[in-house]
Amino acid sequence: MLEGWGVYHATLDPRDGTVFAATNHRVYGSTVQRSADNGRTWRRSQKVGLPEDSGLTLDAVWHIEPGRAEEPQTLYLGAAPGVLFRSDDRGESWEVNRGILDHSTRERWFPGAGGMCCHSIQLDPRDSRRMYVAITAAGVFRSDDAGESWLPINNNVEAEFLGDPHAEVGQCPHKLLIHPARPDRLWQQNHYGVYLSDDHGESWLRLDGNGLPSGFGFPLMLDPKDPHSAFVIPEKSPEYHYSSGGQLAVYRTQDSGETWELMSDGLPKQAWAAVLREASAYDDESLYFGTQSGSLFALTDGQRWVEAVRHLPPILSVEVAQWSA
Amino acid sequence: MVRVAVPSMLAAQAPGRKGYDVEAQTVGDALHALPVADLLFNERGALNRHLNVYIDGTDVRERGGLDCPVAGAGEIRVVAMVSGG
């Protein structure tokens, strides 16, 4: 039923097993779809749109984040142009977040190559009022009041394309993740570098000078058991969106970015591949990513990559979940 | 009553129906009566840019657009126009 749609992100809600998909089509626009039967049938949400007083219209839907366990009706939706929605009826209808829509810095935001997408939504598991969003190219924002107001948190994050590379906003985060076991720790793959914050984003430390071939990339994976580990898939540069040196490779740090090591066992050489920001996932067991050339890889035994599927269309989204039939 | 035919991707969202018989005064009314109307218009009510609508084979732009009356018409056809190659 979703054949022909661009599924920018799909995820399984761990609270009840519903699958949600953020789908876009050049002709038919943007929708959120949900399935209660593992994708056999789908149901569209009510029309997702922006209020007339904003002067904006919806460009695309990008990321769906299920709410916390204690708010079972709630989900969040990141979209373009730089907007966040919330649903309190299990994804049937969506209401725009006015704090982001009306943010005082919005006039200094601008779209990246994929639009002005709100692509990362992270909920602090220990604090029900704290959450984060990352928007290209506006930066990372934190709310400490359940989404009422949003503080730009881009200190030390460089935006080399701006006149002032240390501006308050205008940075280009590509993916933001909170560490599930240490929620004070945020990891960020940015347009310019990989960053780590240990103070809720108040300050950031750039990490990509210690073995990474490039600071540019999109996907980011973590180890839920080890907050010192992270995994990235660098691309050659902002101008050249494919693996550097003709080697598809994952790089791993196990010491909070002090050093990075190559993990290419099983990955193809002579490959100029690209991996999109939603096209990687991790769980307690392994890592997973898909390429724009339609191959899905999984890590086996913690060391060796196996190409699990090939010849798919460009892979836009990868998530991992366990369920029983 | 006028017949409205939609492309297969919209039929899949309906689900499965490529044609609808609807009561309507204008072409716009007929499109808004469809169960896939949310996929034809943006949140301001503007017809999506890459859609063409024909009434008995004539582009509705040549007949006043969505205000075109449907009285006496046989079929409204919605066509996805994605240019390029």
Cα A100 to Cα A105: distance, rounded to the nearest angstrom: 9
| Per-residue pLDDT, A48 | 98
In three-state secondary structure terms, A153 is coil
Q: Do the beta carbons of residue B43 and residue A50 sit within 8 Å? A: yes
Cβ neighbours of A47 in B, within 8 Å: 38, 43
Q: Is 60 exceeded by the pLDDT of residue B85? A: no
Centre a 10 Å sphere on the Cβ of residue A289 and count the other Cβ atoms it contains.
Answer: 26
**DSSP secondary structure letter of residue B33:** T
Would the CB atoms of A31 and B9 count as touching at under 8 Å? Answer: no
Nearest residue on chain A to B52, alpha-carbon basis: A27
Angstrom CA distances, B48 to A26, A92, A237, B13, B65, stand at 9, 22, 36, 17, 13
Cα A101 to Cα A80: distance, rounded to the nearest angstrom: 11
Q: pLDDT tens digits, residue range A30-81?
A: 999 999 999 999 999 999 999 999 999 999 999 999 999 999 999 999 999 9
Cα A242 to Cα A254: distance, rounded to the nearest angstrom: 25
Q: Do the beta carbons of residue A174 and residue A208 sit within 8 Å? A: no
Cβ neighbours of B48 in A, within 8 Å: 27-29
Q: pLDDT tens digits, residue range B25-35?
A: 999 999 999 99
Residue A204 burial (CB < 10 Å; 0-12/13-18/19+)?
buried
| Per-residue pLDDT, A68 | 97
Q: Which residues contact B8 (CB under 8 A, 6 or more apart)?
A: B18
Q: List the structure tokens of A237.
A: 């540069």
Q: Do the beta carbons of residue A282 and residue A221 sit within 8 Å? A: yes
Average pLDDT of the residues of chain A? 95
Cα A186 to Cα B42: distance, rounded to the nearest angstrom: 36
Residue A325 — very low, low, confident or very high, per pLDDT cuts 50/70/90?
Answer: low
Cα A44 to Cα A98: distance, rounded to the nearest angstrom: 24
Of A79, A76, A83, whose CA–CA distance to A62 is shortest? A79
| Per-residue pLDDT, A32 | 98
Cβ neighbours of A57 in B, within 8 Å: 42-44
| Per-residue pLDDT, A4 | 92
Q: Is 70 exceeded by the pLDDT of residue A324? A: no
The answer to whether B10 faces chain A, any CB pair under 8 Å, is yes
Q: Is the ipTM of this complex over 0.90?
A: yes
Q: Do the beta carbons of residue A75 and residue A65 sit within 8 Å? A: yes
| Per-residue pLDDT, A128 | 95
| Per-residue pLDDT, A165 | 80
Q: How many residues does chain B have?
A: 85
Beta strand extents in A37-172 (DSSP E only):
43-44, 60-66, 75-80, 83-87, 95-96, 118-123, 131-135, 139-143, 151-152
Q: pLDDT tens digits, residue range A245-303?
A: 889 999 999 999 999 999 999 999 899 999 999 999 999 999 999 999 999 999 999 89
Would the CB atoms of A49 and B43 count as touching at under 8 Å? Answer: yes
Cα A195 to Cα A128: distance, rounded to the nearest angstrom: 25
User: Would you list the domain boundaries of chain B?
Assistant: 2-80
Q: Is 60 exceeded by the pLDDT of residue B83? A: no
CATH fold label, B2-80: Ubiquitin-like (UB roll) (3.10.20)
The answer to whether B48 faces chain A, any CB pair under 8 Å, is yes
Cβ neighbours of B10 in A, within 8 Å: 28
Residue with tokens 């010192």: A228
Q: Which of A1, A3, A29 sits opposite B48 (nearest CB)?
A: A29
Q: Is 90 exceeded by the pLDDT of residue A210? A: no
Average pLDDT of the residues of chain B? 93
Q: Do the beta carbons of residue A185 and residue A196 sit within 8 Å? A: yes
Q: Does the predicted model carry a pTM greater than 0.90? A: yes
Q: Which of B13, B43, B50 sits opposite A27 (nearest CB)?
A: B50
Q: Is 90 exceeded by the pLDDT of residue A1? A: no
